[in-house]
Structure formats: C-alpha cells, structure tokens
Amino acid sequence: MKAGDITDRKYFDAPPAVLRITPFGIFVDQAGYYPRDTKKAVIPFECESFTVTDMIGNVRYSGKTVYAGADEASGDNVRIADFSELTEKGSYCVRAGGRTSAMFRIGDDIYDDVFMKTSKAFYYLRCGCGLDERHAGVWHHGKCHTAPAKLWEDRNVTLDVSGGWHDAGDYGRYVTAGACAVSHLLYAFRLFPEAFEKQKLNIPEEGLPDILSEVRCELEWFLKMQNGEGGVYHKATTALHAPFVMPEDDTAEMFVFPVSSMATADLAAVCALASGVYSAYDKTFSDRLLKAAEKSVEWLERNPQFIGFTNPEGCNTGGYGERDDLSNRFWAYSEMYALTGERKYHDRLVSALEKDFPLTALGYGEVGGVGALAYILCEREKDTALLDRLKKEFLSLAEELKKKADKCGYGIAMESSDYYWGSNMGLMTKAMIFAVTDVLYGDHSCREYACRHIHCLLGANALGISYVTGAGEFRCNYPHLRPAFADGIEECIPGMVAGGPNKYLSDPFAANVIPKGTPPMKCYADDTASYSLNEITIYWNSPTVFVLAYLCTYNRP
C-alpha cells in the first residue's frame, strides 16, 4: 500500500489504542469451528493439560497438550491443545495453566456472520453517493466526491469519474487495485454460488444477488475510467491524501491520472470476466462490459510497449506502480478467450506465456493466477498440455505451502519473510491457493489448511487478535481508515480486514512504538496512526470473502 499523511499523533484527539494487550493467553479462532473439522488452540506457554468448558464453566472436554516447538515468526514456544473430538454445537473456551481463551462457537454457521460483514464492507466504502441510515446504520454519511475531475496533464479537460469504492484508508480510487478485488469476488461467486444465494447485505439495490449488485458499483466506475481510444486512466484521486475527515468533507479537487497499460489490461480482463457473469442477469450491462473489454484489448494491440505509472510531482497518493504488464496482458487475453472463444485470443495468451511471470499470483501487482484460473475454468476448447501445466502450478504451490504450514507453530504457511505491509493479504491468498486446489483436484485436505489460515486471521495468532473489525471478542477496532476515525463512533465499521503484522514497521508511528527485535508475527499495533500495520484495502477484504465463501460452501453438513 501507499503511505498516508500521518507522522505523529497531532492529527488525533483520541488516546492511542496501540499496544492493547489481549486478556486471553490461549489463542483460538474467535468465530469458531465446524463440528467435523480439526479444532486446535495455540498455547504459547508451558502446560501439560487443558480443558474445554462451556459458558457456565462445565468441563466438556479435557486432554493433554502437544509440544509443537519453537516458532520462529512468533518467537513463541508453542503447545497445541487439540479438541477435535468435541463436536457438540455450543459456545466454549479453552482453559490451561490458569489462563483462558476467548469465547468461540462450534456450529454449522460459524462463518456466516463474518462472511456477511466482510462482504458488506465494500458498501461502506462506496464513493460518489451517500450512505443512508437504513442501510448503513450509525455509519451513514452524506454524498462524497461527486464534482467533475480534471485530467492531471490537461486541466482544461473535465470528466465524471464519480462512483466505485474508496480503495483503502484514504479516499483514492485505483483501477488495478479495484480489478484485483472484483476478480476475487466474481470468481468466488462463480465457484461458490451457494454461499451467496441467501446472503443478505442490506444494500439499496434489488434484482441481482447482493454481491453482484455491490460489484456493479465498481464496474460502472471502471467504465468511466476508459478513454475514447480504449486506454484506461490509472487512478482518480486528489493531489494529496485527505486529512482525517468524513468523505463528504473531502472537497479538494479530484484529478484523473494518465493511462497505464496495466490498468488498461486489467480493465479488459475484469470486464470480460464480469460480462460472462452478468450475462445471466442483465444482458444489456453484459454487452456494455464486453464492448469495453474489446476496446481496451484493441488499445493493447496498438500499444504493445509497457506503459507504467509513477506519481507525478505534486501528487502523493497511491502509485500502484508495477515493473511490467506481462501478467496483466495474459489475464486480459485469457478472459477474452474464455468469454468469446475467439482463437486470436488463445494465440495471444499462449504468446504471453513465453515471458516469465508467476502463474499463481493473485494480488494486484501480479495477476497471473487469475489469468490461469480464467483459462482453466473456461468452457472453450483448451490445449491439454497447457491446461495441465496451469493446474499443476496450483497443485505444486499448495503442496509447498502445506509443508511450510506444518512447520509453523500456528499452522500457517507464513514464514518470517512473509510479514510485510499487508501480510494478511498474503495469508488470505495462500488460503485461496488451497481453495482453488481443492476445487481443481478434489484435494479435500486443502480445506483444513485453508481453515488454519482463517483461524489465524480471526484470532489464532501470536497476538490473539481478530484482524477483522466487528468480528470476535478481542478484535482490531482502530484501523487507518478516515471515516472510521472521523465519524466519532467508538465501534468501528464492521467487516474491515486490517493489513496485519509488518516486520519492516514502514511508518513513523509503527517504528516508534514497536520495539526493535520484536518477532515478525507480533509487529502489529491496533492504532489509526499506523498505516503500514493497520490500514484496510478492498483487495485485503476480497480474498477473505473468497475463502469464507469456499468454507461456507464445503463445510456445511
């Protein structure tokens, strides 16, 4: 992510929330566990035995802990309390050595609430409109960012680029970041439609599955960011990050920044993907998306060179620069072939694969994994060898991640080097790899590994904190998110996924409050001032929604 404008506490009236210490000494998934699944609590201290009690103190299970060893990323000597044999639905906590865990549930619907909240979070980030009390509750606010924007390189040109989602803790909107988030959500819908069938997000629109209504808000904004030649403007932001005010109070002039080949390729890809999804619901909208995708692909053909993006002088909002557009173009051609079946797109995606880029990457900077998914899942004629190659990329990575997870005291495929800015995206995209591998190969062992990563996100980590606002007994509540601070409401907007531990402490506040030598998994502070530890983004929420949709689908009775 990008740096914000916070360097000290002068921007804040509230006392620091940093270094809140969990009252729980035993770490569990605070949402809970499915009855048939493996259930383990992490105990970072010496003890031989444990009990699981219900909420009135009755012992419902007892057992011996197992020593898992010294865990490098957390700095903990870890013991594991396995209570998988307890399958009775109810609310419980784990007790050992005079300490206790947070409350958790065993049940068939344990992730329904957090799945809803992380999906609804996108609504709270809508731009260009107001959020009314009926749908936003106490977090309602007025219309924002509706004035025409100016082209950065030609201030005489104005454009309507209202709409979409605020990207992160700031009020900027970025095409490549948005395309990444939309791809996660649309593939979640394609692969796990059952999870979304009954999901009610309480948003204004009707007539579509709620998640498709929400995603359409972003897609409509994408269409506004395409110029007459098919090129796509990289971002729409103010010149500088806004102060910590409500969105309607951010009235600085909005600018549209130059076209990049990454943004153009990503728009082509995501519009092609969306065209296929929406064709069953709204043919007119589907056709608009197809035309936009074709127009941007034509631009790519006329502009084969890499056109990157760096912030011009006078702008400090997010850059989202990339070193090349190889994976972006591959993704675009893969989605166009999947949608149209035209052989020319197959030839181009094969040609794109002659260059070297990761074929399982699912983030905004590298999208080869999304392009691979497009080809694997398409219902067109496929090259058998290529199909096998792309599928094996996911299988090989899943097997590698399993080995890493089995060596980790917390059961996840995260090593010390993985705790960088936005580490929770890495945590969730690894879980996505397990989900995809299960779908492609029927490798049901992947479900446990995906669960472990969600367990970590929701509290089974070295700080015992749920990194999702509004989810869990001890949860983050003070993210680097302007409206969450400016609204003056103590309880944070629910469903926001925090960036998570970052061993590099990449902002002044983090560097000042986290002691040097702190183990990577513990380099976190729940404080608004720390943008490198506690910002939110749409593409940290989106892989979480994907994984929860997978688990809610496959872990039902």
Q: Report the catalytic residues.
A: 170, 480, 526, 535
Size of the chain, expressed as the number of residues it contains: 557
Distance, CA of 529 to CA of 506 (rounded, Å)? 12
Inter-helix orientation angle 112-124/538-554, to 10°: 150
Specify whether the CB–CB gap between 476 and 500 falls below 8 A. no
The answer for residues whose C-beta is within 8 angstroms of residue 106's C-beta and 6 or more apart is 32, 33, 34, 35, 39, 86, 87, 88, 89, 90, 92
Distance, CA of 127 to CA of 448 (rounded, Å)? 37
Pairing of strands 66-71, 76-82: antiparallel
Rg, the chain, Cα only: 23
Distances (CA, A) of 231 to 144, 177, 262, 302, 436: 26, 17, 10, 10, 32
Structure tokens given for 216: 């359409």
> What stretch of H or E contains 61?
strand 59-64
Structure tokens given for 374: 């497009």
> What stretch of H or E contains 369?
helix 368-377
Return the SS3 of 454.
helix
Specify whether the CB–CB gap between 69 and 121 falls below 8 A. no
Q: Give the HSE-up count for residue 319: Cα atoms under 13 Å, Cβ half-sphere.
A: 14
DSSP letters, 488-535, are --SSPPTTPBB----TT--SHHHHHHSPTT--GGG-----TT-HHHHB
The answer for residues whose C-beta is within 8 angstroms of residue 430's C-beta and 6 or more apart is 401, 412, 413, 414, 453
DSSP letters, 136-192, are HGGG-B---S-SPEEETTEEEEEE----SB--BSSS-EEHHHHHHHHHHHHHHHHH-
Alpha helices in 408-475 (DSSP H): 423-441, 445-457
Looking up tokens 């500088």, which residue turns up?
240
Distance, CA of 519 to CA of 400 (rounded, Å)? 23
Specify the DSSP class assigned to residue 462: T
